[in-house]
Amino acid sequence: MAWALVIVAGLFETAFAVSLKLSDGFTRWGWTLSFTACAAVSFTLLSLGLRQLPVGSAYAVWTGIGAAGTAVVGMVFLRDPVTVVRLLSILLIVAGVVGLNLSPSSAH
């Protein structure tokens, strides 16, 4: 259950990062409210997950989902450039998170 909380928190991290971009420096109130709500949900779920999980592994998953998810959303919906280097970099983020969680120190 704790991992599910962290994964959903990571999805909300993606949403708050995209909302932050779309808020245009907090000048678009709907996106500003979306940013605030998504950030609150994301941090709350992460903090609940951290009650049972090692901080290094949980934080890596949370930020990995946020970084990779935000990059993908940017490329698919916000016209961010799609390049081989960007796609490979996303794969490296995912590989790093998986590697951290496969290491013996990630067991709790």
Tens of pLDDT, residue by residue over 57-108, are: 999 999 999 999 999 999 999 999 999 999 999 999 999 988 888 877 644 5
What percentage of the chain carries pLDDT values higher than 70? Answer: 96
- Contact at 8 Å (CB) between 49 and 2? yes
* Residue 10, C-beta contacts closer than 8 angstroms, at least 6 positions apart: 42, 61, 62, 63, 64, 65, 66, 69
What ranges do the domains of the chain cover?
Answer: 2-106
Report the mean per-residue pLDDT for the chain.
94
How many Å apart are CA 42 and CA 5, to the nearest integer?
9
Tell me the residue length of the chain.
108
